[in-house]
Every structure is written in structure tokens, then in C-alpha cells.
Amino acid sequence: MKLAALLTRPNGRKARVVLLERRLAAIFGLLSLSGCASTQLGAQYVDPQFPQQALRGAIILVVCEAPELAIKLICENQISSQLMQLGARPLTDSTLVNPVPGHEPPAGHYLPAAQAAGARAVFSTTLAPDYGQAKPMSSLSIGIGGWGGSGGYYGGSGVGGGVGVSVPVGAAQGAPGLAAIGAIIDVASGRVMWTARATTPPLADASTQVAEVTKALAEAVRQTGLFQGLPRTP
């Protein structure tokens, strides 16, 4: 950095440069911390009428809804992987079609297919952009001007000039977060056994966003005890 070039005063030049560098480092550190955010779990419901371990070792039909096919398939793969870790036996069906594309399907829409496949329940996940977490790109501008005048500083005439530092902060302009609404539907009764909503902030990679929200949903359903008999949180 050529910040020293703005200073013509020999006495104190080194201290001035160190102070500016420390200020810049502190500012960039704060910006880095402010840009960090975590996946959050929103409202959650579990039907208390279903016993502990009701889905232990059960076959679960996994269906995801997403604006793009690639995102849908990534979601179904992620959910299936999480369910396997919970001891369930997930399955998917590429022929299933949502009657309301882009929106959460009716709770009982996939029940006939699940029943035909011998599934105990349907794990449905709807993915959509979360513009509530959109972070428009901001920038940090630091301007350091020079001084004029023949007698202002030691070393002769003053020097005019300045250095501007512009640093983009955050994700791309208007990049949205990702919201996921997960629900487990009992095939026999058509009742909602569990449902929750998870959100993640804007990230550079859509696959990472999907992985984050699906992990959050899987952890939430794990804590209900429906699969592994863990104590349900109040």
C-alpha cells in the first residue's frame, strides 16, 4: 500500500502508516465477522399422538420440490442420506409430479404412491428463494486525502492527492437465501407427523445451501424421537 506517499512530513511518518494499517485491518475484520451467518430453524410442529420410534427402520418416500430439476435431485439425495443415518430406508420416485409447481404440494398428494411402494411415511421438502435474507452487495470506501499549502508540514511544500480503497462486501447483488419447508406425512392416516422450516443465508454455491437446510431439517426431526427414540424437546 502506498499510503506513505501521501505524507511529506518525515517526523512521524512510520507511526502514521502503522496506525492506518491497523485501522484497515480492524475494519476488514469486522466486515468479515458481519458477513458470517448461520442456518436457522424456524417454526416447528410435531404431533404428540405419534409414539417414540414410530418411524424406526421405516420405508420413507422422499420428495423435494425446487425451481430447478438439479436442485430437486440434490435435495432428494441429501434428505435420503440424512434419513439413512437415522436408520430409515428412504426411496425416491422420479415419476412423481407436483400439481402446483413451485409451491408446497397438498399434504396427501403423494400418499397413493407411497402406499403403493409400501412406505410408512412421506418426507416432503419444498425449497424456495428466501428474499428476506437477501444481502445486496455493499462496498467499503476509504479515502485518504493529501494536504496543500507551503507551510503546513515539514519538508517543503504540501502534497495534494489521495488514495481510495473500495472493497465489495457480501454476496452478489440481491443474492437470496434459501428456505426449506419439510414435512413428514403418515401414509395410513394422512396426518402431518412433523413439519419445520429452515433457512440459510446467501451462499456462493447452491448445493451448499441445499446441504445446509437439509441438515438442519434432519437434525430437527432427529430430536423429535420419531426415528431413534430420543427425548422430544418441549
Domain parsing of the chain, residue ranges: 3-34+138-169, 46-135+173-222
CA dihedral sign, ordered 194, 97, 177, 37 = positive
Query: Which region, left, alpha or beta, applies to residue 224 given φ > 0 means left and ψ of -120 to 50 means alpha?
Result: alpha
pLDDT-based confidence at residue 217 (cuts at 50, 70, 90): very high
Choice among 39-48, 136-145, 174-183, 222-231 with the minimum mean pLDDT: 136-145
**Fold adopted by 46-135+173-222:** Rossmann fold (3.40.50)
Q: Alpha-carbon torsion 210, 211, 212, 218, what sign?
A: positive
Any idea how long the chain is?
234
Question: In the predicted model, is pLDDT for residue 35 greater than 60?
Answer: no
Mean pLDDT of 100-113: 79
Q: How far apart are CA 35 and CA 49, in angstroms?
A: 42
Residue 14 has a pLDDT of 52
CB neighbour class for 55 (10 Å; exposed up to 12, middle 13-18, buried from 19): buried
Residue 104: count of CB within 10 angstroms of its CB? 16
